[in-house]
Amino acid sequence: MVGQSLQKNKRVKLLYVGSRQGIERKLSKDFQIPFQAIITGKRRNYFSLSNIWDIFKIFCGIIQAFFILFFFRPNVVFAKGGYVTVPIIFWLKLFKIPLVIHESDVMVGRANLWALKYAEKVCLGFPLEYYSQKLPLEKLIYTGIPVSPEFKQTSIKEEGRPKILITGGSQGSSKINDLISEILPELINRFEIYHLSGHRDFEKLQKFKNPNYHLFDFSLEMPKFMRDADLIITRAGASTLTEIAAVGKPSIIIPLETAANEHQVGNAQVFQKINAAVVCSEKNLTANSLKTIINHLMADEKTRDLLGHHAKSFFRPDAAEEIINTIFEVVRK
């Protein structure tokens, strides 16, 4: 969303640097932003022969980054974290290029923790009081997380069965899919189900044939599905939680407990603290206990409205503009 907004300024020239195998290339193509692929490696906390190969890849990425910066000569670098940012940030002091980073999660990722010392400003997706790590307060600014304008639109409530949206994020969640498949016959007798399963489990879930069950591996209609939903069942990715906040909907959050830095657990705890969602530990969650929670919430409109209202209070509608203002402020220094 930041790139899209910056594109509207004719004086701004953009270059999107991302990994060869990531989603970055597709995003840049969709938004018509020039793209430069860079080789990336990953540092692991355990022994693996892959570490040796990744050291070589990191070195190659650093060499690539030098030439990207040398020829493009940006006035500022905006980084979203992840290992793909490391080679670029490595050279910024040499080229005297200022850095603005954005951290979506409430647990700052390893790459961004390393980048903090080089950054002029650090834009945060959550309010400052929820960050437990030691961070340089003078650099921090709470901007929130940008979302697509479609999430900010309003929908007219349609007649018919209550709607439940189930999503495991962009890759899908086998844990959520397995739980839902056990109770799906009962759910589709009472509710209209929209299920974004991801590619992995899509085929096996196709056995459930019912006009009240709408199965997708991926859909561009997510904003509409969220706006129309009476309840959302989801993982705890920061972007997904922000989209839920944008539409002001109640949710059952099942954080991925094996995610790096336990960042999904941290994100979910923020929503739990402000009473914006029901949070379930995936270790202890069974299909029957999930069904009980769903039935309880679907029978209690007042509680659903309260959860949705609290979620909405978390949303920052001008997040993209605040990030862009921060970037321009750093450039003007």
Residue type, 20: R
**Cα–Cα dist 254/268, whole Å:** 8
CB-count burial class (<10 Å; 0-12, 13-18, 19+) for 192? buried
**DSSP assigned state of 260:** G
**Cα–Cα dist 59/110, whole Å:** 18
Strand partners, 233: 166, 252
Instruction: Tell me which residue of 40, 41, 92 sits closest to 66, measured CA to CA.
Output: 92
Beta strand extents in 176-272 (DSSP E only): 192-196, 213-216, 231-234, 251-253
Residue 227's φ and ψ, nearest 5 degrees, are -60, -35
Instruction: Tell me which residue of 84, 86, 88 sits closest to 74, measured CA to CA.
Output: 88
**Cα–Cα dist 175/133, whole Å:** 29
Cα 222–Cα 225–Cα 231 angle in degrees, nearest 5: 120
CB atoms within 10 A of CB 84: 24
153 carries a ligand binding annotation: no
170 carries a ligand binding annotation: yes
Q: Provide the greatest CA pair distance for the chain.
A: 63
- Exposure class string for 54-72: b at 16+ Cβ within 10 A, else e: beebbeebbebbbebbeee
Alpha carbon distances (Å) from 125 to 41, 135, 293: 26, 14, 28
**Cα–Cα dist 194/192, whole Å:** 7
What residues are designated binding site?
170, 264
What residues are designated binding site for UDP-N-acetyl-alpha-D-glucosamine?
170, 264
